[in-house]
Amino acid sequence: MSEKSFDDITIQDISDKANVSRGTIYLHFVDKYDLLDKLIEEHINAMREICESSSEMEYSEANLPWFEYLEKNYLFFSTMLASKGAPSFRSRFKEFLIEEFKDEVDITKGKNQGLNEDVIIQFIVTSYVGIVEWWFTNGMPLPPHVMSEQVGMLLERNL
C-alpha cells in the first residue's frame, strides 16, 4: 500500500511480494479485504494488550510502550494513517481509542465538571490520532520517549 492504492492491489501482487502462491493466501484469507481486516485487528489487539499492561501507570509512562510499538510498526501505521492507507483504519483506530479513554473521563468534578463526556472523549481521541499522524507525516522528528512524555502531559491536563 506504500506503492499503490489498496483498490489497485491484487492478490497476485500480494503473493508476489510475500513470495507465496495465490493459493496459500486464499488458504488463510477470503480476499484482500479479509487480509487487511486481519492485519488491522492484529495491531488493534496488540495495542489493547499494551493498554492493559500499562493501565495503572501515569500517562507519560503509559504512552511509552505505545510510541515504541508505533515506531516499530512505522510502515504499517504510516501507510494506514498518513498516506494512501485504508480509510477504515482511521475509524477503527478512533473507535479503539474511545474504548480506552471513556473510563478516564470524569465530568462530575474538577476541570471537566459540567462538560459533555462525548465532547471530551472526541477531543482527546481526535487529538491523539492527529498527533500520531503528525509524527509519521514528519518522519518521527521526536523519539518515542519524548512523544510519550509530552503527549502524557497533555493527556493529564485534559483528563
**Could you tell me if residue 107 is inside a domain?**
yes
DSSP 17-44: HHTS-HHHHHHH-SSHHHHHHHHHHHHH
pLDDT of 125-151, one tens digit each?
999 999 999 999 999 999 999 999 999
Mean pLDDT, all residues of the chain: 90
| Number of domains the chain is built from | 1
Cell 511480494 belongs to residue: 17
Task: Return the amino acid letter for 10.
Answer: T
- Looking at per-residue pLDDT, the higher value among 2 and 77 belongs to 77
**Could you tell me if residue 76 is inside a domain?**
yes
pLDDT at 88: 80
Task: Return the amino acid letter for 59.
Answer: Y
pLDDT at 116 over 90: yes
**Could you tell me if residue 3 is inside a domain?**
no
* pLDDT grade for 84, boundaries at 50, 70 and 90: low
CATH of the domain at 134: 1.10.357.10
pLDDT at 85 over 70: no
**Could you tell me if residue 149 is inside a domain?**
yes
**Could you tell me if residue 98 is inside a domain?**
yes
**Could you tell me if residue 2 is inside a domain?**
no
pLDDT at 69: 97
Cell 495495542 belongs to residue: 47
* pLDDT grade for 5, boundaries at 50, 70 and 90: confident
* pLDDT grade for 110, boundaries at 50, 70 and 90: confident
Q: Which domain does 112 fall in, by range? A: 8-158
- Judged by phi (left if over 0) then psi (alpha if -120 to 50, else beta), residue 140 lies in left
**Could you tell me if residue 1 is inside a domain?**
no
